[in-house]
A = this chain, B = another copy of it.
Amino acid sequence: MNMKEKGQESQLKLENFLCFAIYSTANAVTRAYQPRLTALKLTYPQYLVMVVLWEEENQTVTAIGDKLSLDSGTLTPLLKRLEAAGLISRRRDKADERQVLINLTDEGRAMKERAESVPIAMGQAFGCTMDEARGMRAELIGLRDNLVASLDEAK
């Protein structure tokens, strides 16, 4: 085996894949949140939507989608489930009937308090210091922005 072959082979080894580290860690995150969220009867993406709404109410589907990088194909059915669960309301904006405004119900607003324990418990599960978490978050967001930029360039 010459050097070139050796170099290329290492490129195609799973253990060297940064993408797989991200992929498998993301799956592990979802699995780790699951037991903490079943008490709230939320899935992990539903929890993220609730976090966005706890920060700011009366948001459009697009505004929520921009923050979570999700489109209406994902959000519409998810929001309908949150509505069916009595946590949010969906109503057309009178001023612009194209838009749907999402608001918390009293029940959805009240859930915030019970949800406070979730990130605290998860902080334990991550098993890293706040500083390490901050560092990784910054690195990941940098990576994510690079990926988004490379996609934008391509079109």
Contact = CB atoms under 8 A, between A and B. Distances in A.
Interface of A: 8, 11-14, 16-33, 35, 44, 48, 51-52, 54-55, 67-69, 112, 115-116, 119-120, 122, 124-128, 132-133, 136-137, 139-144, 146-151, 154
B144 A124 contact: no
A133 B141 CA distance: 14
Of residues A8, A119, A151, A154, which shows the largest number of chain B Cβ atoms within 10 Å of its Cβ?
A119
A154 B122 contact: no
Tallying the copies of this chain within the complex gives 2
A67 to B, nearest CB: 6
A114 to B, nearest CB: 11
B19 A122 contact: yes
26 contacts: A12-B54, A12-B115, A12-B119, A14-B48, A14-B51, A17-B51, A17-B137, A18-B126, A18-B137, A18-B140, A19-B122, A21-B144, A23-B44, A23-B48, A24-B68, A25-B144, A25-B147, A26-B27, A28-B69, A28-B144, A35-B151, A124-B150, A126-B143, A128-B143, A128-B146, A136-B136
